Amino acid sequence: MRRVVILGPGAAGKSTLARRLGEVTGLEVIELDKVFWQSGLVARSAEAWTAIQAELAARPGWIMDGDLGPHDVLEPRLKASDTVVVLDVAPWRCIWRAIRRSRERADFWKWLWSWRRSYWPTMLREIEQEAPGATLRIIRTSADADRFLSDAAPPGVSG
């Protein structure tokens, strides 16, 4: 496991899992929200976002955490990945976390509400197409996340 993509709806715990996985593996964690959004929460163009991801994906090892919904271009990071993790967390949990963490824009709530119906099937097709050799892990619970981290840890290191 050297190139990990973490996807899922907003407030599912992607960044938390990425940080914990980075601690266990020593891999660089790249929080895509911080790279993608420009000042004033302006989205990058698809062309610019594709080029930026290609540069990031060329690095020898990384964990890229982020799912930018309708703004995202998954291909560059999926093609370079050897592991894809999807957080399939209950919508009520994401809503609760999002309310607790900050104020969100209307487009965030629309994306969160429609993630399972609209984005999940498309994302799975893209994973199949762009990362056919990657290991796919679907995490639904905290126990699933703990098992994943335990499996990812080098011998003698606990997650």
Count of CB atoms situated within 10 Å of the CB of 87? 23
Domain with residue 19: its CATH number is 3.40.50.300
Q: Structural domain of residue 71, as residue ranges?
A: 3-152
Give the mean pLDDT of 48-54.
95
Specify the pTM: 0.92
**Does the residue 158 lie in any domain?**
no
Residue 9 to residues 16, 30, 97, Cα–Cα distance (Å): 13, 17, 11
**Does the residue 31 lie in any domain?**
yes
**Does the residue 114 lie in any domain?**
yes
**Structurally, how many domains does the chain consist of?**
1
| Contact status, residue 133 vs residue 83, Cβ threshold 8 Å | no
Q: What is the pLDDT of residues 130-150, one digit of tens each?
A: 999 999 999 999 999 999 999
Distance CA 56, CA 120 (A): 24
**Does the residue 159 lie in any domain?**
no
Residue 48 confidence (pLDDT) above 80: yes
